[in-house]
Structure 1
């Protein structure tokens, strides 16, 4: 509420889903999307829940160890096999065990 009173051009949201139930997270992201669309306010969203973040975003950046390792439109990121595997819990390949996944992540070079 208060952030909107100043009619900002951009609002920074840091982990808006942290500690919330899945039902509340859906509601929060619905409100974020509505404010963005209805009022034209840019939302800079920092979020670990990649599924909700990518569905709410028009464009996204993926960071690892404080560095941007991948960026693209919502559709590019949602369709990227590495993003699916590491952040969305899927992909075309067979599921790897946690041990193998950790090893693979260390070897993987994004860019």
Structure 2
């Protein structure tokens, strides 16, 4: 049997280093007794996968955000406000930024 793996063809999740460092931050904060162990898997997952950070950085220490994660307020009203902000931002991107980008390419080409 030829069981050798070619590491060049091995798919890796996008942003694996971000998740690694984010999780290391949590483990270090727990080890140094800065925060208690998070027993809620949803709260821990929220910290590790904080999407806005994933695309913008930097790595935030768990001790800096654990209170916000543990004491977050969830309601239909707040979800609606968030969805509204997302839709407005998406509309600005599609209607304004895409057109301005195309215009800039035309100007730059001349």
Q: TM-score surpassing 0.5?
A: no
Compare the two structures and name the one with the higher helix fraction.
2
Query: TM-score under structure 2 normalisation?
Result: 0.31
Of structures 1 and 2, the one with the larger relative CO (CA 8 A, separation 6+) is 2
Query: TM-score under structure 1 normalisation?
Result: 0.31
Compare the two structures and name the one with the higher strand fraction.
1
Looking at CA atoms only, which structure, 1 or 2, has the larger radius of gyration?
2
